[in-house]
Structure 1
Amino acid sequence: MNVLDESPTVKSTLKILLADDHALLRRGLKEFLQDFLAEDGQTPYIAETGSAQHAIEQIRAAAWDLVILDLNLPDMPGLEVLRILKSVQPALPVLVVSIYSEEHYATRAVRAGALGYLTKETGPEELRAAVSRILRGGSYAPSSQIDPQQQDALSTRPVTYTDRLPAGLSDREIEVLQWIAQGRRLTEIAEHLNLSIKTVSTYRSRLLIKLGMRTTAELIRYALDQQLV
């Protein structure tokens, strides 16, 4: 369900968009942000959505000071959403807060344009620190989650470090793998990623070769084991 509490044209100090597929988490996060920003003398407008497409529509419709993005939205892979948001508004500050482990996603999120990455196990004070730093024009990544090389990448563009993906898979291959693991047909994947069916089939073949597998079922098991879905 998509939620917008008021028009984004309402004047306020800050405009923040929460994109997460769990309504209760969004509500708790919204209340937390309102409370700590009020302590800083700010009155934010905070909108919520559980849909990638709706988040993209909101970014196209108005300027935002911060987007807090989950990578597990139901209608599009999270990193694809992030890339689209940044293509629409290149200077858009995005903080990723995800259930997925930092090992597989933190670096990739930074490369796609995020200014910070936190897991949903993060404590409130760390979340507050991340939001505050990003709103001040900085970036945030706890040293316990991202190594020094990745920390440097948060403060310098373009990114020049080597991405550490499982089995050396590319971003697009990971995205195709995620969709396959969700039981999507190649035609559906092609439509969602705006690719031809032949191209998606090629990505599937590459996945099988790189991972040393023979069947789609093996790909699905791998994705589940790696917590990619």
Structure 2
Amino acid sequence: MNHPRTLRVLIGDDHRIVREGLKQVLAEAEDIAVVAEATTGDEVLAQVRAAGSGALDAVLLDIALPGRDGLDVLQSLKREQPDLPVLMLSTYPERQYAVRCIRLGAAGYLNKSADPDDMVAAVRKVAGGGLYVTSATAEALAASVGGHAPRQGTEALSHREHQVFRLLSQGLSVSEIGARLGLAANTVSTYRARVLEKTGARNDVELALLAERLARGAARP
């Protein structure tokens, strides 16, 4: 009798309680083993490189990692190991992030509050070479490729502009964002100006309110 091959997973999340919860959920599946953990983007990349090509079957990656955020790490992983599936995890709304993640090469996007059965199914799907999308993500993808209207607001932001938007909405200053992203302050100021123009916000307070509205709106069915 053939036994299913154990799927080897790395979890990248800076919150211990989240990692422990994910491990507990995945431990219920006999064919999935969490073989590595990382708390920062640089640790994720270091562990993947140390493991070598083919050693991992999937990476579960938080978007909001300290230092290099998950989207930056995702891009690096896809350059270095394009065949390694990356399942993005987040507390952010799917409408706001799922399409962006998949465009950057993610094999799926899942909210951290997802049902445990969905979490296991997602890991199996991406580790098997598939694309895991919820119905909400599928709708967002369809709208992004099938809609004729130009992208507006936060959807029109580039990857770097979106990073700056997210950090501004969290209350970080231009200099703090520059240090976090490795950018000069005047470069961050340029991105900030583009973010304000594209979103129609007049200042950082309005950006924070916009981010809060987006989160509340996506929480509705």
Q: Could you say which TM-score interval applies, normalised by the shorter chain?
A: 0.7 to 0.9
**Pair 1:90–1:192, CA change in 2 (3 A):** farther
**Pair 1:219–1:45, CA change in 2 (3 A):** closer
Alpha carbons 2:99, 2:141 under 8 Å: kept: no
Written as runs of structure 1 = structure 2, the 5 A alignment for 1:50-89 is 50-63=39-52, 64-89=56-81
SS of structure 1 residue aligned to 2:109: strand
Q: Structure 1: which 5+ runs fail to align?
A: 1-11, 154-161
Alpha carbons 2:8, 2:35 under 8 Å: kept: yes
| TM-score (structure 1 length as normaliser) | 0.76
| Equivalent position of 2:175 in the other structure | 187
SS of structure 2 residue aligned to 1:202: helix
CA distance in 1, matches of 2:106, 2:120: 17
CA distance in 1, matches of 2:27, 2:143: 28
Report how far residue 144 of structure 1 moved: 3.9
Written as runs of structure 1 = structure 2, the 5 A alignment for 1:9-158 is 13-36=6-29, 38=30, 40=31, 44-63=33-52, 64-147=56-139, 149-150=141-142
| TM-score (structure 2 length as normaliser) | 0.79
Count, aligned residues: 205
CA distance in 1, matches of 2:141, 2:161: 24
Q: Which runs of 4+ in 1 moved over 3 A?
A: 148-153, 162-165
Alpha carbons 2:10, 2:37 under 8 Å: kept: yes
Flag the structure with higher helix content: 2
Deviations 1:126-185 (A, max 9, x none): 2221111112121211224322855999xxxxxxxx877635222221111112223333
Bigger Cα displacement from structure 2, 82-91 vs 117-126: 82-91
Written as runs of structure 1 = structure 2, the 5 A alignment for 1:169-208 is 169-208=157-196
CA distance in 2, matches of 1:167, 1:93: 24
**Pair 1:218–1:108, CA change in 2 (3 A):** same
| Equivalent position of 2:156 in the other structure | 168
**Pair 1:175–1:130, CA change in 2 (3 A):** same
Alpha carbons 1:86, 1:113 under 8 Å: kept: yes
1:223 is the counterpart of 2:215: no
CA distance in 2, matches of 1:80, 1:18: 16
Alpha carbons 1:16, 1:65 under 8 Å: kept: yes
**Pair 1:120–1:56, CA change in 2 (3 A):** same
Identical residues among aligned pairs (%): 40
CA distance in 1, matches of 2:164, 2:140: 29
CA distance in 2, matches of 1:152, 1:34: 36
Q: What is the CA RMSD across the aligned residues, in angstroms?
A: 2.8
SS of structure 1 residue aligned to 2:137: coil
SS of structure 2 residue aligned to 1:146: helix
Deviations 1:42-80 (A, max 9, x none): 6x3522222222112212222322100111223333222
Alpha carbons 1:107, 1:164 under 8 Å: kept: no
**Pair 1:205–1:133, CA change in 2 (3 A):** same
